[in-house]
Amino acid sequence: MSRLIVVSNRVSAPKDPAAGSAGGLAMALSAALRKYDGLWFGWSGETVETFVPEAKIEDRAGVTVALVDLEAQDVEEYYNGYANKTLWPLFHHRVDLTAYERSYGEGYERTNARFAEVLAPLLNPDDLVWIHDYHMIPLARDLRRLGVKNRIGFFLHTPWPARQLLVTLPHHRRLVESMFDYDLIGFQTREWLDLFRDYVASEPSVHGRLLPNDALEAFGKTVQTGVFPIGIDVEAFLAARNSTFGARTYDRMAASSAFRSMIVGVDRLDYSKGLEERLLGYEQFLEDNPDMRGEVFLLQVTPISRDDVDTYQDIRGRLDALAGRVNGEYADMDWQPVRYLNRTYRRDQLAGIYRAARVGLVTPLRDGMNLVAKEYIAAQNPDDPGVLVLSRFAGAAEQMGEALLVNPFSREELSDAIKRALTMPLAERKRKWECLMKVVRDTDVGIWRDDFVASLTAVVKPAGGEAGAAGDAA
């Protein structure tokens, strides 16, 4: 049986089964690795003075991991630079925040080549290689240069940008050309795939062709593409919700609500999440509905991320000020309209929080999928479920049409949706929840994982395409 080699920027094989959304994904991939007797490869998160092209092999929760240390310059240029200051904002349509520094691009190319140098000797001839996310787009090209002929798949967890935005990236053609060394490229939604296809077919410097069954031809190569919507580990999340700690958190939140309806938002601190727009929409709701003041409150949980990037420091300051302004304007002696928390909670705690919330606000300005939307639905009480308010620009909106879909840029639309969610009759809430819960179950992360692996296995490679292992050619 072929091994599955999972490659990601950081190895996150779980040590704590109570971890949050990222931990849920890690557990799903860990299960796949155990099933396929696989290996998880990526950056250790540590830096060294001089890069050494060797991996440290460890066992984590029954999963074999191969860890690579990077130089500080690699981390600054590849991770903090090109990945998080260039590709992340660009892929989320924030060209105004995108940094086009030549050194960032050079560090990105250099670090991916280093990953390939360490990974190639670890591969067996029939291994399936599954590379994840925008940090490692050129990795297949670098592996092919070392003679790797294995099947290699790529899955993008973020959106793909419109062609008119992508062409603002220096060397955009080279980045896309490197993707044609994959056998399979997976996207979260049909929209992101169609934007990729539009670039390949319409960009004058590419001269690509659209082939049947979502295959593409360009740069003298052919690649298979597909849509693979990611989900949550439903049974694991339900177990967390029903656990002693999950139930205790629910009881605590229900008691603290004090006969008020709780609205909840849980998002990593990031400009793509629409946090400022969400607070402005909630402020508009309080202004529009004076009779409901004192009867609701917003719990916004926002763990700090990438705090060493200036843009994230700026947004943190603006959110602190905005939450303070709303509380200063509307709070009363026994009521605070916004509870704004910059900390991380365990997955079972989040499940209890979600279950206690009458409304879940998931309103990113642009998002690859957004698993919080699916976690919120999974956490609900079937006999008295809450209502999901979901941005139409989240990838999840393509699947979750029974949510209240909103334009997060419109504070009036957000205000109206909050009011509708809070006043929705029980019968309608139950009908919507049942439809949405079916989606959550039908797109379980295990189904996503197995569909991608099966599709990668089924790719028909050119004659001689699988001959030899990485180590044979290196």
Active site residues: 157, 367
Listing DSSP states for 170-236 in one string gives TTHHHHHHHHTTSSEEEESSHHHHHHHHHHHHH-TTT--EE-GGGEEEETTEEEEEEE------HHH
CA dihedral angle for residue 390, residue 396, residue 400, residue 403, rounded to 10 degrees: -10
**CA-to-CA distance for 423 and 418, rounded, in angstroms?**
9
**CA-to-CA distance for 472 and 119, rounded, in angstroms?**
13
Alpha helices in 347-425 (DSSP H): 347-356, 371-379, 411-423
Strands (E), 334-469: 338-341, 359-362, 387-391, 404-406
Listing from the earlier edge strand, what are the strands of the sheet with 261-266? 338-341, 296-301, 261-266, 359-362, 387-391, 404-406
**CA-to-CA distance for 72 and 104, rounded, in angstroms?**
13
Q: How far is CA 362 from the centre of its chain?
A: 13
Nearest alpha carbon to residue 389 among 424, 359, 419, 416 = 359
Identify the DSSP state of 360.
E
**CA-to-CA distance for 347 and 159, rounded, in angstroms?**
25
**CA-to-CA distance for 341 and 352, rounded, in angstroms?**
16
Residue type for position 276: E
Nearest alpha carbon to residue 211 among 448, 467, 460, 463 = 460
| Stated length of the chain | 474
Provide the 3-class DSSP secondary structure of residue 351: helix
Bridge partner residues of 155 (DSSP):
132, 186
